[in-house]
Amino acid sequence: MQGLLRKVADLDSDAERGIRLIEFFDQLVVHGADLEAIVRATAVLAEGTAGAIVGRHGTACAVDADGELQEPCGPSEDAIVAEVRLEGGDIGRVWVERPGAKRDWDDLIVDRMALTVAASQSRSRHTTTPSPLGLSNPAIVQVLLDEDATEVDRSKAVRLLGFSPGQLVDVIALNARTDMHQAMTKIRAEMAHATGRHVAGTALSSTLGALIVASGPLEDGILGNGVLACIGDPIPVEESSKAWRSARQGVRFASLAVRQNVVRVSDLGCLVLLSELPPGIVVGNRDVVAMSELASLRDGGTDIQLLRTLCVSGSERETAKALHMHHSSIAYRLSRVSKVLRFNVRLPESRDRLGLALLLWGLHASSVGAARSGASERNVTA
């Protein structure tokens, strides 16, 4: 090391300038400069016009000494030209030209420019097919899902997450039955493995998570049994916030489903509107309040499951089969439940009312519960 330091110390000013030029282009590589940035930096450094033509489609760029883009027309006869080589073959060429005689270091500048362009092209080749597992930075995901984010910020978020501009994605809202922060890493990895498509996402809270998946078929059981989910309609990635809003509302329906833990916005249709009702309207509804009272009883959870199964199956006999109970037991429990709800749930014409009461109570259970607790406290105080 000491010998190397002595050699560096003995370098004359010309050699030091050469090292500075090499460092200049190395910094362009480190900071991931694209073709235009490399050509512009070279033009300003060389105080002349710099240009490049690379790739099978002949992507061209030319910039003058003032950093202004020029119409790319190829190098003149007086230009200093270097070939851009990558993986053993020529992929293009770069050049510098200016009026007057050739200057010292022009050859080094053009050679380093060619190497820097080759490094940029190599990086582009390896990032055109991104890893299936995208970033999970909460701040970046939140920018993309934020309806108030600027177009510029969303475009940056799209690139950082590894998606292409305009790419169709499926936005998925998740609700974990365990801690979402612990579950998300496994969920993202399994989704990427199962689909082979690009997946980005993160936990947004201890219970809420978001996945953004390159659009394509998604099987109903793809997320397993440990999470509730709602899959939004395919949408350009820049518009993910629109799909996120409906998916976040829709995931509340997943907890109400009898036979699946994943729902789709397209299957919910107008039912999503029920989640947008003001809580003040819902908590005062007689049927919703009665459903809350039923749920609070000792066997309330079983009764709620019984009613949901009845709505899905359509008959008491099919409900008995689904729940592995005797038909007479089902009839007895439904008669008892009807007294609590104050309408006969066994009548076919009551099924729509029952289904709607179950949905509204399930979607707004926390608000109904809070209202009942508040009323009880006021009664005690009185």
Q: Which domains are delineated in the chain? A: 2-127 (3.30.450.40), 138-276 (3.30.70), 279-381 (1.10.10)
pLDDT for res 1: 29
Burial pattern 178-207, b for ≥16 Cβ within 10 A else e, equals: eebbebbeebbeebbeebebbbbbbbbeee
Burial 23-56, CB ≥16 within 10 A → b, else e: eebeebbeeebebebbbbbbbebbebbbbbbbee
Once rounded to an integer, what is the mean pLDDT over residues 294-311? 90
The CB density around residue 60, as the number of other CB atoms within 10 Å, is 17
Please, which residues bridge with residue 209 across strands? 174, 203
In the chain, beta strands by DSSP E:
49-54, 59-63, 69-70, 80-86, 89-97, 168-176, 199-203, 208-214, 227-231, 235-236, 262-264
| SS3 label, residue 52 | strand
Half-sphere exposure of 2 (CA within 13 A, CB side): 0
Q: Cα angle at 38 between 36 and 41, to 5 degrees?
A: 105
d(CA 374, CA 378) in angstroms, rounded, equals 6
Which 3 state secondary structure label does DSSP give 337?
helix
163: Cβ–Cβ under 8 A, 6 or more apart, which residues? 130, 134, 169, 198, 200, 212, 214, 237
Neighbours of 126 (CB within 10 A): 9
> 190 and 201 in contact (C-beta within 8 Å)?
no
Least confident interval from 7-16, 114-123, 257-266: 7-16
CA 172 – CA 231 distance, rounded (Å): 5
Tokens of 381: 């105080």
pLDDT of residue 3: 43
Q: Which residue from 81, 44, 79, 76 is spatially nearest to 63, judged by alpha carbons?
A: 44
**What pLDDT does 135 receive?**
56
pLDDT at 307: 92
| Residues in CB range of 151: below 8 A, 6 or more apart | 238
pLDDT, mean over the chain: 81
Question: Between β-strands 227-231 and 168-176, what pairing exists: parallel, antiparallel or unpaired?
Answer: antiparallel
Using left for φ > 0, alpha for ψ between -120 and 50, and beta otherwise, residue 43 falls in alpha
Going by C-alpha positions, the residue among 100, 117, 124, 155 that lies closest to residue 40 is: 117
pLDDT at 380: 35
pLDDT at 9 over 80: no
What CA–CA distance (Å, rounded) separates 317 from 315?
Answer: 5
Averaged pLDDT for residues 353-375: 71
Please report the pLDDT score of residue 354 as a whole number. Answer: 92
- Nearest to 176, CA basis, from 227, 234, 231, 113: 227
What is the pLDDT averaged over residues 309-334? 91
Residue 293 pLDDT greater than 80, yes or no: yes
**pLDDT band at residue 136, thresholds of 50, 70 and 90?**
low
Partners of 64 in beta bridges: none
Cα separation, 279 vs 352, in Å, equals 21
pLDDT of residue 8: 36
Q: Measure CA 331 to chain center.
A: 47
Q: How far apart are CA 345 and CA 353, in angstroms?
A: 9
- Banded pLDDT at 13 (limits 50, 70, 90): low
Q: Is the pLDDT of residue 159 over 60?
A: yes
- Under the banding of pLDDT at 50, 70 and 90, the label for residue 242 is very high
280 to 198, 223, 284, 358, 378: CA distances (angstroms): 42, 34, 7, 17, 18
Q: Per residue in 31-67, pLDDT tens?
A: 778 888 899 889 888 889 999 988 766 778 888 888 8
